[in-house]
């Protein structure tokens, strides 16, 4: 069984040798079968042979073209706040990947802290969850997390995020690459958001947009950066990022793009001595925390330990080997295309049914 890191090194071509080349060949053959399945499924929806179920309130999907982290959580939080600032009731719907039966997964716990006034329903049957949100929670807008390929629910707006550091899945469908579907699928998108554009050159950024524009689509084009907001510990206490600016830190993360986390810490002015990487959605148990404490205890001359918000909700401790443990909270900073995005959102507002509770 390949770890997430092994998989990335192989599909990206970083790992050399006969063994890696043979494995890439096997993955390529498997990706052909995967591609046929994805194409047939999409054609059934596109030709209306297979129908999408309409919910009684507007539905906005936020998703990816590729596997791995592209920065959906800050985008979902930005959208939820946009509607809440206008007094619309929003509910988040997600599959609940990696959650134990009856429990929330890491992303749900993170969003609960970021958006305490926004309900979040997790259910592998997202159609059922959407109906509960609309009928029982009186939601006026639904945000579907990681749902670009989940076409059972009809949506009023499809937002797709592209990570500038690995935009098109290394050019291959899964498992040879990380594409969930061919790039032509972007034609279904109403809004395309490029994330982490500050981590690549202007030339690389323009090349990504050029490839997107070749698809002849009618989507709003947006660029979003991940902006560090505050430090947060497991007790819910906040601290300013400036308190660690210029300081040496250790860091660990279990996310889809660990290099993005390192970049964010560096941009926040911290000197990362070492970054320990875990698989995406990694579940930290008691042994893992013990190992982290040993790792921290073996280091010297640093001020604190940093992790992502998604990791903090699973680790659940304030200190490791007597060193403070902080999560760096991230907010979406839209640097281009915000007016176009908000124009699309205003169109959604016109479709929100009249609020029966408005006079109460």
pLDDT tens, position by position, for the chain (360 residues)?
777 788 889 999 999 999 999 999 999 999 999 999 999 999 999 998 999 999 999 999 999 999 977 788 999 999 999 999 999 999 999 987 655 555 566 777 888 888 999 999 999 999 999 999 999 999 999 999 999 999 999 999 999 999 999 999 999 999 999 999 999 999 999 999 999 999 999 999 999 999 999 998 899 999 999 889 999 999 999 999 999 999 999 999 998 888 889 999 999 999 999 999 998 888 899 999 999 999 999 999 999 999 999 999 999 999 999 999 999 999 999 999 999 999 999 999 999 987 766 655
- Is 70 among the annotated ligand-binding positions? yes
- Is 178 among the annotated ligand-binding positions? no
Q: Are 248 and 301 in contact (CB under 8 A)?
A: yes
- What pTM was estimated for this model as a whole? 0.90
pLDDT of res. 103: 58
Task: List % helix, strand, coil for the chain (3-state, nearest 5).
Answer: 40, 25, 40
Q: Are 312 and 232 in contact (CB under 8 A)?
A: yes
What is the C-alpha to C-alpha distance for residues 340 and 332, in angstroms, rounded to an integer?
A: 16
pLDDT of res. 31: 97
Q: Where are the domains of the chain?
A: 59-226+333-349, 228-330
pLDDT of res. 150: 94
What is the C-alpha to C-alpha distance for residues 138 and 126, in angstroms, rounded to an integer?
A: 16
282 token code pair: 């990694």
pLDDT of res. 71: 83
- Is 66 among the annotated ligand-binding positions? yes
pLDDT of res. 3: 78
pLDDT of res. 152: 95
Q: Are 23 and 10 in contact (CB under 8 A)?
A: yes
- Is 68 among the annotated ligand-binding positions? yes
pLDDT of res. 100: 56
pLDDT of res. 359: 56
pLDDT of res. 102: 56
Rg of the chain taking only CA atoms, in angstroms: 21
CATH topology of domain 59-226+333-349: Rossmann fold (3.40.50)
- Is 35 among the annotated ligand-binding positions? no
| Among candidate residues 162, 165, 170, 230, the one with its CA nearest the CA of residue 198 | 165
Handedness of CA 125, 131, 137, 142 (dihedral sign): positive
CATH topology of domain 228-330: Alpha-D-Glucose-1,6-Bisphosphate; Chain A, domain 3 (3.40.120)
Q: Which residues have C-beta within 8 Å of that of residue 139, sequence separation ≥ 6?
A: 57, 89, 90, 91, 119, 133
pLDDT of res. 97: 67
| Among candidate residues 344, 353, 333, the one with its CA nearest the CA of residue 159 | 344
């Amino acid at each position: 069984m390949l770890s997430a890191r092994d998989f990335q090194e192989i599909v990206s071509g970083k790992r050399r040798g006969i063994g890696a080349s043979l494995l890439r060949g096997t993955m390529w053959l498997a990706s052909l079968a995967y591609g046929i399945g994805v194409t047939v499924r999409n054609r059934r929806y596109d030709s209306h042979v297979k129908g999408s179920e309409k919910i009684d309130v507007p539905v906005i999907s936020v998703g990816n073209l590729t596997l791995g982290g592209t920065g959906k959580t800050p985008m979902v939080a930005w959208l939820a706040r946009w509607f809440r600032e206008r007094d619309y009731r929003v509910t988040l719907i997600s599959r609940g990947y990696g959650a134990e039966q009856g429990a929330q997964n890491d992303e749900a716990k993170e969003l609960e802290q970021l958006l305490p006034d926004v309900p979040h329903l997790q259910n592998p049957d997202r159609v059922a969850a959407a109906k509960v949100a609309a009928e029982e929670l009186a939601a006026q807008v639904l945000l579907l997390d990681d749902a670009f390929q989940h076409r059972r629910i009809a949506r009023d707006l499809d937002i797709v995020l592209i990570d500038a550091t690995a935009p098109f899945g290394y050019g291959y469908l899964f498992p040879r690459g990380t594409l969930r579907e061919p790039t032509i699928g972007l034609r279904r998108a109403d809004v395309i958001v490029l994330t982490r554009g500050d981590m690549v050159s202007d030339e690389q950024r323009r090349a990504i947009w050029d490839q997107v524009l070749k698809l002849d689509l009618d989507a709003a084009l947006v660029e979003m950066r991940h902006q560090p907001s505050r430090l947060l510990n497991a007790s819910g206490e906040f601290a300013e990022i400036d308190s660690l600016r210029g300081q040496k830190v250790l860091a660990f993360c279990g996310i889809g793009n660990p290099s993005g986390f390192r970049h964010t810490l560096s941009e926040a002015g911290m000197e990362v001595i070492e970054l320990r990487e875990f698989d995406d959605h990694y579940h930290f148990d008691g042994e893992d925390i013990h190992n982290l404490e040993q790792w921290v205890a073996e280091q010297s001359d640093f001020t604190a330990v940093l992790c992502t918000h998604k990791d903090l909700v699973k680790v659940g401790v304030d200190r490791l080997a007597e060193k403070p443990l902080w999560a760096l909270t991230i907010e979406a900073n839209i640097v281009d295309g915000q007016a176009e995005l908000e124009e699309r959102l205003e169109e959604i507002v016109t479709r929100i049914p009249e609020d029966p509770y408005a006079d109460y």
